[in-house]
Structure 1
């Protein structure tokens, strides 16, 4: 018989990068963590092992968030294994370059499926499983660029802007039992398409001239969870990048 836990968090894209930091932080704070991954199997196993070695509770769950059926099965699988999900962190996303001129139905659909539709339907499933008498939290990882629009990464930006709108409307719809908030990171980790030099130029062009430590993202998660009067908000952690995409000394467009 599976152990039922009182505090269960599902973190999408939790095998690596920011998602792993969030998953490990939640486990340290006493949450049983569902470590979602798609293709990063080894990293997911490593994350679970790291949590368990620190006396935490974690289980890995594989799902392709672009697949409607796999999205539908994810929350029930977590509930069956760990218990009711009371904290959903929608962290997983795809980030591919396109513009108004180059975007295709394929690129549009790819971004919307993972970055917007999956968070919505996971939230819907969480609410259906949690019941009317239990409190819960949804935290969506968005992007500072929804406050700092540029002509780059069109499909990605639209999907994240939609997620920001969903954060606000669902905060209204799901109150008072479920709080829905967001975090908008700026330059935190170099993307797969960036050289270290380019990433350094990016954060050096922010007003504060620093990159965002992934631990700051988890600190924001902790703050949201510990602040019961907060809903429909986004904490923008970006060293001031959202204040203007063309900062003095920035010679290339932001790519993260």
Structure 2
């Protein structure tokens, strides 16, 4: 579904990505692990069309989309849930959800409203908070809102950047259950996550990104079986 080949992305003279190549297969959860500053967020932003690569290509569903803008990629079904729970704080929960349907301009208002009701069924707490300003929600509620808002665009590939960041353990567990459910329903997931154990528990394939380069690609079991990697990222001895 997603093929990234030789991506080089720079900030000024600094190379944040140094020839990254990876694949996210349709119907699977692919996770990207690595230390802070490895280039994980830069990679997602480049795939999503927010940053422009200096070299390399991005192919989505067989089409070269390297030059497409973020809004055009969303219309094609490639959606990013960024880190830090970026809600529209001065808008209500319901208004945030409706904003997520902007890419479906041809579907009409009725379809958007119907999808809002579906999001309420999936995330009951959002229905209870429908008229509340998004900026007043708890961290976990905001994370559920940004996921629901992304789903309003009916994505084929959902990219998620550090969905567990800053959340209580119980909320993190709920978020990962949601990710698993979405994947079972047919949504392909590309996940960047600081909690390697959680990510590997739901992933079908794992990549390790270090200093802007892919240094490991394989199954979660293979990741855990590598003594050096598991000691560094899973805390094993």
TM-score range normalised by the length of the shorter chain = 0.3 to 0.5
Higher share of residues assigned strand: 2
> Which is helix-richer, 1 or 2?
1
* TM-score of the aligned structures, taking structure 2 as reference length: 0.34
Q: TM-score w.r.t. structure 1 length?
A: 0.32
